[in-house]
Structure 1
Amino acid sequence: MGLLGIVLSLGLLMYLAYRGITVLILAPLLALLALVLNGEFTLLGTYTQIFMAALGDYIVKYFPLFLLGAIFGKLMADSGSARAIAETIVGKLGPQNAIAAIVLSCGLLTYGGVSLFVVAFAVYPIAAEMFRRGDLPKRLIPAAIALGSFTFTMTAFPGTPAIQNAIPMPYFGTTPFAAPIVGIAAGLIMLIGGVVWLNFRARRASGRGEGYGDHEESAIGASAAIEGDTPSFTVALAPAVAVIILNALFTYVVIPAMDTGYLGSDKFGGVAIGDVRGIWAIIAALVFSILLIVALNFRRLSDLKTSINTGTFGSLLPAFNTASEVGYGAIIASLPAFFLVRDAVLGLTDNPLINVAVATNVLAGITGSASGGMSIALEALGDRFAEIAASAGISEQLMHRITTLSSGGFDALPHNGAVVTLLGICGLTHRQSYADIFVVAVMIPVFATIVAIILGTVGIV
C-alpha cells in the first residue's frame, strides 16, 4: 500500500502539473497524500518540519543563482544584446544553414547565462523569418530552439552557469567545471546529433514538397518580435563571455587565494571552501557580468529599474517551484516504503554511475523538471551515492557530470514546463512539433549520457 501511495502521488503530480495546476499547491498536497496512504497521519508536523525545512534549505543554497540569472537574462533581452547575438550568427550562416544558426545562437546565449525562456522569446522571431526564407517547415523551430537551449549548454559543457550544473556541487564537493572531457564529449554528441537529425528531417520534408507552411503568429510570438536599438555583436557578446571567463577565474584563482578558514566556525555553518566554492564563483561571475551589461548598454536600458525589478520577480516562481519539488521529495524520502525504492536503485547494478543516472532520469521525467528531479534524487540519495562512488574509486567530478547529464534526458517529456512554453511562443502544438523535440531533447541526450557513463567507467574524466 505504501509503494502504491508513492506511485499514485507521483502519477498525480505529473498529470496535474501537465494540466496546468501549480506545483506550489500540488507538491505539498500530493506528498501528504502519499504520507496518509503509507499509514501516517502526522500531516502538520510533516508539512512544517520536513516539507518546509527542505524547501527552505534549497532556497538558502540556490536562490541567488535564480535571482541573478533572471536579472542577467532580462538585461540581455532589454538591452537588445540577445537579439544582436542571434541576428549576427544567423546572418553569417545564412538561410541555407538556418537550423545550425538557430541552434548555435541559442547555445551561445544559454551558455553565457541567459535563461532559456528569455532565449526562446528573443530567438523565435529570427528563427521564423529564417525558416520562412529557407522554406523550412516551421514545425522544426521548437526542436531547434530546444536543442540549443536545454541540452548541451544546460547539462554537458563544463562551466555552464545553469542551475542544473550547480545543484550537484554541495553533494560531491565539485565545481562547475567538473569532468570537462566527459562533458564536452557528451555535449558534442547532443549538438552534432541534434543538428544532423533536424537537417535530415528538413530534407525529408523538402522531398515531400513541404515548406514553411501558412501559419498565423501566436500572440506570444508576435509580441516577441518587437524591434529596438541593438548593440554591436562584440558589445552584446561581451557579458555572455564574461560569465564563463569570470566563472573559471573565481573558481581556480580568486577564491583559492582568499582566506576562507573562517568558514569552519559555527557562525558560518562549519563548512569547507569546497562546499561553497562553485556557487560563490557563479554568483560573483553573474554580478560582475550584470554590471558589465549595464555599463555597456546604459543608454539602451531606458528603464533600468523596471528591468531589474521584472527580472527579480521573474526569478521567484521558478525558484519556489523547484524548491517545492525538493520539499515533496523530502517527504517521499521519509516514508518507509521509499526505502524499498532506494534499495532497488542502489542495488540496480554495481556501477553507481548507472544507478544515479537511472534515479535522476526517472525523477526528472516524473516531475517534468531537470532541476526538480535531480534535486529530489540527490536529497534522498546524494550522500549514499557519494559514499558508494568513493568506495568504488569513482571520482566526485564524474558523479557530478553524470548526475547533471541525467537530469536533461527524460525531463523534456510532454508535460515539461519549458516544452509547453516553447510551443506556445512558436504557436505550435505537441502534435505538430513534439516528435522532433523528443529526439533532440530526450533520445539523443540519453544516448550521450550512456556514452559518458562508458567513458567514465573506463577512466576518462
Structure 2
Amino acid sequence: MIGMIGLVGGLILLTILVMRGMNLLVVAPLSALFVALLNGVPLFPQMTINEEVDFVTGYMNGFAGFITSWYLMFLAGAIFGKVMEDSGAADSVSEWILSKLGREKAVLAIIIACAILTYGGVSLFVVAFAVYPMAVSLFKEANFPRRFIPAALAFGSTTFTMTSAGSPEIQNWIPIPYLNTSPYAAWQVSLIVAVFMMIIGYLWLMWMIKRAVSKGEFFIERETDHREERSHLPNPILSVIPLLSVLIVSYIFHERFEQYALILALTSGILFTWLLNRKYFRDFWTAVGEGTEGAIIAIGNTAAVVGFGGVAKITPAFDKAVTALTDLPGNPLIGGAFAIMIIAGLTGSSSGGQTIALPILGPHYLDMGVNAEALHRTVALSSGTLDSLPHGGYAVTTIRSIAGETHKDAYPAFGAMTVLVPILGVLLALVLFSFGIGM
C-alpha cells in the first residue's frame, strides 16, 4: 500500500510542480526520489542486493536513453524550424495559406500542416519544432492568443493521425509483433474515429479561441519572435518545398532506417531551405545556433520526465499495478484500453505504455479469443490519451520549451485536445467494435 501511495503520490507531486512552472530538471528527479523512497528502492548501486536496480541507475537509464535515441532528431528538427523562420519561408507559407483560407482558418492551416507531417512519419516532437514558426506567424496575422498554439500543434500531431491506421508513427507499429497484425488494422473503425476526432477537436478548439478573443485576449509579440516586417519574402511555392522534402525523404527511407530516417529528412529540409531561400536569410548561422540551444533545452526537459518513468517502472508497486490492470474482468477491449491509458499516464509516454503492457496483455487477450485487429486499434488509440497529462514529455516540450508558454495558460486547451478528445475517440471505437465493425 505504501508503495502504491508513493507511485501515485510521486505522479501527483510532479504534476503539481510542473503546473506551478518549476524547473523540470529539478522537480522530475525529486518526484522520482519520492517514488523510490516509498517503494524501498535502493538509492545507489552500492546499496543493491543481487540484481536490484537502484534509484540513480533507473533514473539515468531513462534520462540518458532518451537523449541517446532522440538527440539528433531534436537537433535537426529545432534547426529546421529556426532556418524556416529566419529565411522568411515560414512567413511566406503562412501568408499564402491565409490568403487562400482566410484569417479565420489560421488554426485549421496549422492542424493540416501538422497532420501531413505526422502522417508522413515525422516525429511528433520534430513536427512541433518545424511548424511552430509558421504557427506564430499565422496566429499573429489572425490576432489569436498565442497560448493556444501548443493545443493546435498537438491536436494536429497526436490525435487523429498518430494512432490511426496506416500511420508510420511508432504508436501504430508497436502492437504489430505482439498481435501479428498490420499497420492498417481495423482501418474502417480508425477512419471513422479519426474523422470524429478531427471535427470535434477543431470545433472545440475554435470555440475556446473565440471565447478568449471575445474576452479581450489577443496576440502578444515577443522579442524572441524576430518578427519585424520584411520588405521581401521568399516565393511561397519554393518555401513549401523544404516541408515536402521532409515528408518525402522520411517516407522513402522510413522502412530502411526507421526513426533515423528523420535525420536525413530534416537535414534535407535544412539544405533545401538554404538553397532556395539563402538570399532572404538574416543570419543563417545565428539561426542554427538558436536552434541548437532550443534542442538542448527541449530534450533535457523531456528526458527529465522520461527518467521519472524509468524509476516508476522498477518499483514493486508498478509491477502490481500492471498485473492488476491487465487482469481486469469484463470486456477485454475495455480492460485493455483502460490498462494502456493508466500505464501511459504513469510513464508519461504513449509508446512506453504500450511497450510495458503488450507483452502481458497481448498473449493474454489473444488466448481469450479477442480479435487481434480490434485489440491493435484499441491499444494504439488508448496510448494517445493519458500520456499527455501535464507531466508528459511531449506536453512539457511543446508548451514550455518550444512555445515558451506556462502550463497554467496553455494546458487547459492542450489537455482538452490531447486527453479528452482522444478518450472520446477510444469510447467511439469501443462502441463500433461492439457492433462488429472492423472485426
Gaps of 5+ in 1: 132-137, 256-276
Cα separation, partners in 2 of 1:99 and 1:24, compared to 1, 3 Å = closer
Who is 1:220 aligned against?
222
The Cα shift of 1:153 comes to 2.6
- 1:101-149 C-alpha deviation (Å, 9 max, x unpaired): 5644665677675643664454345334435xxxxxx56x655x45531
- 1:292-329 C-alpha deviation (Å, 9 max, x unpaired): 22222222234222222322221223223333323222
Give the letter aligned to residue 239 of structure 1. P
After TM superposition, the structure 1 stretch with the greater mean CA deviation from structure 2, 229-238 or 3-12, is 229-238
Matched, 1:417 2:396: yes
1:56-455, aligned counterparts within 5 Å? 56-95=64-103, 97=105, 100-101=108-109, 103-104=111-112, 107=115, 115-116=127-128, 119-130=131-142, 138=144, 142-143=147-148, 145-146=149-150, 148-157=152-161, 165-166=169-170, 169=173, 172=176, 181=187, 184-198=191-205, 212=214, 214-215=216-217, 218=220, 220=222, 223=225, 225-228=227-230, 229-251=232-254, 255=256, 277-348=257-328, 354-355=334-335, 357-362=337-342, 372-378=348-354, 380-385=356-361, 387-388=363-364, 405-410=381-386, 416-417=395-396, 421=400, 430=409, 438-452=415-429
Matched, 1:20 2:21: yes
Give me the whole-angstrom Cα distance separating, in 2, the residues matched to 1:153 and 1:11.
26
Determine if contact 2:345/2:389 at 8 Å carries over to the other structure: yes
What's the secondary structure of 1:337's corresponding residue?
helix
Cα separation, partners in 2 of 1:366 and 1:230, compared to 1, 3 Å = farther
Gaps of 5+ in 2: 47-53
The Cα shift of 1:377 comes to 2.3
Percent identity at matched positions?
A: 28
Give the letter aligned to residue 249 of structure 2. L
Matched, 1:55 2:63: yes
Give me the whole-angstrom Cα distance separating, in 2, the residues matched to 1:251 and 1:428.
34
Determine if contact 2:150/2:403 at 8 Å carries over to the other structure: no
Determine if contact 1:353/1:453 at 8 Å carries over to the other structure: yes
The Cα shift of 1:53 comes to 2.2
Give the letter aligned to residue 253 of structure 2. F
Q: How many residues align?
A: 417
Give the letter aligned to residue 287 of structure 2. S
The Cα shift of 1:237 comes to 1.4
TM-score normalized by structure 1?
0.72
Who is 1:29 aligned against?
30
Determine if contact 2:399/2:406 at 8 Å carries over to the other structure: no
RMSD between aligned residues: 4.3
